[in-house]
Each structure stands twice: as C-alpha cells, then as structure tokens.
Chains A and B, each alone.
Chain A
Amino acid sequence: MLDGINMVVYPGEKVGLVGETGCGKTTTMKTALNVLPMPPGQIESGQIHFKGQDLLAMNGREISRIRGREVTMIFQDPMAALNPVFTVEEQFSPVIKHAANARLSKKEVRARAIAALEEVALADPERLLKAYPTQLSGGMRQRVCIGMALATTPQLLIADEPGTALDVTIQAQVLRLIHDLVEDLNTSIILITHSLGVVRETVDRVYVMYAGSVVEMAPTPKLFANPLHPYTQGLMESVPRLSGGGVSQGIPGRIPDYMDPPAGCRFHTRCPHVMDICSRQKPPVFRIDGEDGEVDGVHEVTCFLYDGEHGAAATTGEVTT
C-alpha cells in the first residue's frame, strides 16, 4: 500500500526517487503512468497531474495522447520489458508510429527506428531490427529499451534503475547515455534508484522513500549535507566508506512489507529516535527550509522529530530509544 506520496517534477529537472529494494518505487511510478496491472493493483484515491491534467480522470484515448508522446518509462529489467516473441522492429514500429502522431510510410518508420538505435550507440541497427530479444545481450536490450523510450521524445522520462540488471561498467555507460540524451532534449527525468552514489552524481532533487511512503525531500546538496529523517540518516551511514570504518551495520531490523505497513510512522519499528506518538499517528510533512514555489530550495521531512513540541524534545536529548 502506497501512501503519503507527493511528488512534483518541474520542466527540465532531474529528480531522484531513492529507497531500498521493495519499498514501492517502481509501483509508484507505474501507478503514475497508470500502467500498473489492475487487478491486482488498485488506486483508492489520489491525483496524478501532468501539465495540469489529471491522468486518472482520463479515458484510454486521452491518456494515450500523453503516454508515449510526452511521458514514458524505461523499465528496470530490459529482458522483461521486451516482448520475447516479437522482433525488435515489430516492437519498435508501433511506438514510432504513435509518437509521430502522423501517417508515416513503412520506410520512414524503419528509418526512424534505425536512427533511434544509432542514437543509443548500437552497431548494425538494420540487423538488430530483425533480431528477437533473446538474440541480444543484456546491454543491447537495455539500449533498445532506452532507444524506444527516447524515440518518443518525451518531456518527462521515468527511468527505473537503468542498468542495475547489468554489470557495473555497462550500468555506468547506460546512465551516461541517458544523461547525455536527456540533456540534448531538455527532458525532465525521474530516476528510480537504490544507489545514493547515482543520486549524488545525476539528479538535482531527491525524494527518499520508505515502505511505500515518501519520508524526505530535498535538493541533492542539502540532502547529503544535512539528512533529516532518521531513515535517510541510516541510509547514508549504511554506504560503505573507502576511508576507515569498514562496512557499516546498516539499519537494524528489516524493511516492512509496504502491502501491510505498521501503523503510524512506517519507520517507527526500526527508528533509533522513536517516540510514543510515532506508533499512534501518521507524521505530517514538515517544511524545514525554503518557500512555496521555490524550485530548488525546499527541504521537507515527514517525521515528528521536526514538529514544534516533539522536535524540542529531540534537541534537548529526551529521546526515548
């Protein structure tokens, strides 16, 4: 169950969504695009606005004007994201036809597909179009997926852990590739990742997610300089450092299933600063820094430690552990 997720992405901005594996990052983004399989998925309440229009209120025809033209998504596992029983061309063509929103000749569609594959640095695109996904390596598949997504020239690209299914060198290449292509097109991007390193290098602003809820949001430099939420702090400490200290312990306890989260603050079962109120009441969002409408200054946290009355307790050291 996802709850308390309030995300905004501005034009041309690069936003990161970070959290442990299984905390609902991918589900959030699939829901945002309304591509989550339903059933079993279900949206109880909420709104998803793109340029002022509510995606959830749209019918299939309306939403298809946005998906694949203005917004699209690159999925985490390129093997699963490509249909195994169709050639690359068979999967590419409808995407290009849809994105073009105009009648294209077969030749023109093909030419655009080839151009898109060259764009993602794939050799011999002619032959590649005739290949089935099983005939491609993991890196090639990931590039094909990126090529397809970028061939739609979206204004917002959601990239779900691009390259994590691949080895590290290729992962870096893939990230660079997305980064460069996005710079060229001035596309906004939501980068889903569990890696703080990737976040630090690539995005302007970060949302930290825990068990299906956003717990903290800040511009990247502020988040790394001054992480506020105990979970974010724990996450930062869990990163192994090169200089001294060895491998850290990580956060004690296990991430709860977001399908059946604990009451109150979802992190209270593992929080080192847990208070009475945390298990009873869901914490609201506290604005720590920045003004309304300010794009890159706002720092928000969803934790009672930063509430006026309870927060005071935190600073005077009366924290129950």
Chain B
Amino acid sequence: MNLLIFIGKRIFHAIFVILGLAIVIFAVARIMPGDPVRLAVGSRAPQWVVDNMREQMHLNDPIPVQFGYWLRDAAQGDFGISLVTRRNVAEDVREFFPATLELALFALTISLTGALLLGTIAARHKDKWIDNIIRIFSYLGIVTPSFVFAIIFILIFAFALDWLPAIGRLSNGVEPPPRVTGFYTIDSLLIGDLATFWDAIRHLILPALALAMASMAQEARITRSSMADNLTKDYIASARALGVSEGLIMRRFLLKPSLIPTVSIVGMDFAAGLGNAFLVELIFNWPGLSRYGMNAMLSKDLNAISAVILSFGIVFVLVNLLVDILVARLDPRISLSAGGGS
C-alpha cells in the first residue's frame, strides 16, 4: 500500500518534470536567433509567403497560446517537418529512436551484470590482488571516454580477430524483421527468425560494450564499496551467529542492501549513456537518434532538436521513475517514509 502511494507520487512528479522540460524546449526554440519562418521558406521567398507561413505556424499569437498549440501537437507526436530534410520529424524519431534504445538497454544490461559480478568479487576479496586489478580497471573505465573504447574494440575484435562486425545494425543482405517494437532483436524473435536475431546481437555487442564500460566501472566501484561496508555490519555477524548459511547470507542478506546504491545510480548512468551514444553511434555507423539529434543541432533544425530532446527527456524520466520504484522495493525505509508522510 505504501509502495503504491510512493509510486503514485513519483508518477505525479514525473508529469511535472516532463511538462517543465517541454516549456524549456519551447522557450529555447523561440529564443534562438533567426526567424524560423525564414529558415523554413528560404531567404528568397516573397513576403506574402512568409506572412502566410507565419499565420499558419501561429507565430502571430501571444507566446502562451503558441505554447498551447505546440504542446497539443507534441502530445500527438507531431513536431512538424524537419527544416533541413523536409521529412516528418515524428517519423524520423520513430525510425531512429528504437536503435538507440536497443543499444542503450543492451549496454545497461551488460554494465549492470558486469558491475555486480566484479563488485561482488572485489568485495569478497577486498585488498587482495584480484580486488586491486578490478579497482584499476574501474579507474581506467571511468576516465576513458567511450569513443576510445569503441575504437579499441573495433581494432581488436573486428579488424584483428574478425570475431564481430564493426558497423550497422545488421549484416549486408540481412532483411530487418517486420517492425513491431523497432528492436531488431525482439522483432526477429517475434517471428522466430533466429538467424536475424543472432546477427542483430552480434552487431550490438561491440557498440554496447563500448557504451557500457564507463557505467560498468562506476557501478562496480559502488557495488564493491557498499558490499565491503555491509560485510562488516552487525546484521551479517548476527545472521552468522544465528546459524544462517553463508550462501543465504551472500545471496539475500548481503546482496539486497548492497544493491541499493548501485541501482540508484543506474538512472544517471543511463542518461550519460544516451549522451555518449552520439559518438559510439557515429563510430559504429549506428542509425540511432543520438546521431540524428547531433546532426539536427549542427544544422539548427529546430523541430528535430525539440523532438529529440523531448524523446530523450521522457525516456530519462521513465527510467528514473523505474529506478526509484526499484529502489523503494529494495529499501522499505523509502516507501515507508513516503507513505507515512501523506
């Protein structure tokens, strides 16, 4: 019950965050120098075209009214057409976003699994050689930009060893599966096409790994320190004194409290990952939204920029909502205090 109240509150907050983000995007789009109409129709268009366009885009209305129109369209997924490519922005987002999301979620899975594994090993062998190696790896992982990893991985695993493909989402000649979610892995599984699924996974591994390194290192450090810290807690000694088996202590009584700090930072790491994805997508020629968004920014394509930022913003808010709920599930103290306060 307390948890439901907590979740309700968080969803309520999330709505305001997204609304706030929408206002910021709208404001930035209006403040940006340059006349959007001129940008759209070109400098040699006659004045009456400009005036008509201005009316059509509601640019003569007061700002709050303009925001109303903008929000209404955005809520329907209508961000207008790209000022550069003349394509429908919403369609572009729908096409490119799943590629980035698939990459980011795959990276998230890799980083979290790796981090828990490394963190646990390091904590259990604290201050031994294996712990030191993992710590050095962590520092390297944190300070090395993801594009460096990307290049190193391509050199080793794609060129030197030729184990994995280096570019794109699928090999040449492999047809993308019919679109349901836009995730090639899931869509190919849905039609039972294992060959395509395997091809998609192979293409995912290197970019996802490059993207995962930084957060894996960070999360491994946090898992290590929280586990090592909790190992010295009296409740572990008490459980041992009461005869609870070592396996159960590790799997349950140590793991659950130690997971809390790790899970808490996953949301932030995911956001950083979406940002870093731009370079990784560029290097691996990954047709994702980060690359699309960066191109839009370079060409001052306002409609496309708005759509990309809002899309990332919503995903970021959703991921953090999920993380908050997960942390509250892990740590009853959080949901209990939230329920008591209302």
Contact = CB atoms under 8 A, between A and B. Distances in A.
Interface string B324-342: 0000001111001000000
A80 B233 contact: yes
A152 B245 contact: no
B244 to A, nearest CB: 5
Interface string B217-247: 0000000000000011111111111111110
A86 B244 contact: no
A30 B232 CA distance: 12
Contacts of A82: 235, 238
Nearest to B256: A85
Contacts of B244: 68, 94-95, 98
B127 interface: yes
Contact of B333 (A39, A67, A84, A148): A84
Contacts of B253: 83, 86, 91
Contacts of B194: none
Contact of A73 (B232, B241, B245, B330): B241
Nearest to B258: A85
Contacts of B235: 80-84
Given A94-B248, A132-B332, A132-B333, A83 B257 contact: yes
Contacts of A64: 243, 245-246
A104 interface: no
A36 interface: yes
B12 to A, nearest CB: 25
A35 B245 contact: no
Nearest to B245: A64
Contacts of B336: 132, 134-135
B242 A68 contact: yes
Given A83-B257, A99-B243, A148-B242, A35 B237 contact: yes
A60 B248 CA distance: 13
A60 B256 contact: no
B58 interface: no
B239 A36 contact: no
Q: How large is the interface on B (under 10, 10 to 19, 20 to 34, 35 or more residues)?
A: 20 to 34
Output the residue of A35, A60, A69, A158 with the most chain B CB within 10 A.
A35
A37 interface: yes
B241 A67 contact: yes
A76 to B, nearest CB: 8
A117 interface: no
A81 B239 CA distance: 8
Contacts of B240: 33-35, 67
B300 interface: no
B332 A134 contact: yes
B20 to A, nearest CB: 33
B167 to A, nearest CB: 45
A27 B236 CA distance: 15
Given A132-B332, A134-B336, A35 B241 contact: yes
B248 A37 contact: no
Interface in A114-160: 132, 134-135, 145, 148-149, 152, 158
B126 interface: yes
A200 to B, nearest CB: 27
A64 B246 CA distance: 9
A36 B257 CA distance: 19
A227 B331 CA distance: 51
A75 interface: yes
A193 interface: no
Contact of A67 (B126, B243, B248, B257): B243
Interface of B: 126-127, 231-246, 248, 252-253, 256-257, 260, 330-333, 336
In the A-B complex, the 8 residue pairs with the smallest Cβ-Cβ separation, listed nearest first, are A68-B243, A80-B234, A37-B232, A73-B241, A35-B237, A98-B243, A81-B238, A35-B240
11 contacts: A67-B243, A71-B241, A81-B234, A83-B235, A84-B331, A85-B330, A98-B242, A132-B333, A132-B336, A152-B243, A158-B241
Given A35-B241, A95-B244, 13 more contacts: A34-B240, A35-B238, A40-B232, A68-B244, A72-B241, A75-B234, A80-B233, A84-B235, A85-B332, A87-B332, A94-B244, A95-B243, A152-B243
